Amino acid sequence: MSTMKKRIPMFLLALAMMVAMALPTFAAAYRPNAQFDYLLNINGSTGSAYQGRALNLMKTKTMGTDQDFKIGTRSGYPGYYMLVSANVNYAVNRSTNGGRAIIWPIATGYNDSRLYDNDESVIRLYTSRELLTAREPVGDWSTVYFGGSGISVWVRAH
């Protein structure tokens, strides 16, 4: 009987640890606040190379690979990043030409991709403090960039 009493708490502890470890890795799409039919999207053909692809808004209610991001850390790099879930070696970055939000490898752009913190509703760059912003008026293929004016509050949509 005492062996069974020891196994139940150990099982519950193991289950709790599995759930806690799984929570930060849930996939998520992001949409601008109050824009229910538009998701943050990696522009270009699904499956094409990520480097340099611009971000925009796409009118869709279904999350696909190019709308799937997670905010988290990366081993070997300081801070938080908005990572491409399909390949966490890539993160949202700021183009030096006009501030457009693009996808870039963390290995060569971690300082420009690093976020101020792990906030999922106000996505702010660490170095420039610029916010990820959807240009208004919002429509299919609207531009997403860092800085300037527009909608800068994001909602995590599962």
Each residue of 50-60: pLDDT tens digit? Answer: 999 999 999 99
Report yes or no: 89 and 102 within 8 Å, Cβ to Cβ.
no
Each residue of 67-86: pLDDT tens digit? Answer: 999 999 999 999 999 999 99
Distances (CA, A) of 39 to 8, 29, 49, 107: 43, 6, 20, 26
Q: Which band of pLDDT confidence, cut at 50, 70 and 90, is reported for residue 23?
A: very low
The residues that bridge with 137 in the sheet, in sequence order, are: none
Report yes or no: 133 and 152 within 8 Å, Cβ to Cβ.
yes
The mean of the pLDDT values for the chain is 88
* Both structure tokens of 131: 């916010």
Rounded average pLDDT over 4-28: 55
Domains of the chain: 26-157 (2.80.10.50)
Mean pLDDT is lowest, of 11-25, 59-73, 83-97, 131-145, for 11-25
Q: Which band of pLDDT confidence, cut at 50, 70 and 90, is reported for residue 148?
A: confident
Rounded percentage of the chain residues whose pLDDT exceeds 90: 77
* Both structure tokens of 41: 């999207």
Query: Does residue 17 carry a pLDDT above 70?
Result: no
Mean pLDDT is lowest, of 43-52, 77-86, 104-113, for 43-52
Confidence at residue 121, expressed as pLDDT on a 0 to 100 scale = 97
Confidence at residue 48, expressed as pLDDT on a 0 to 100 scale = 87
Query: Does residue 22 carry a pLDDT above 80?
Result: no
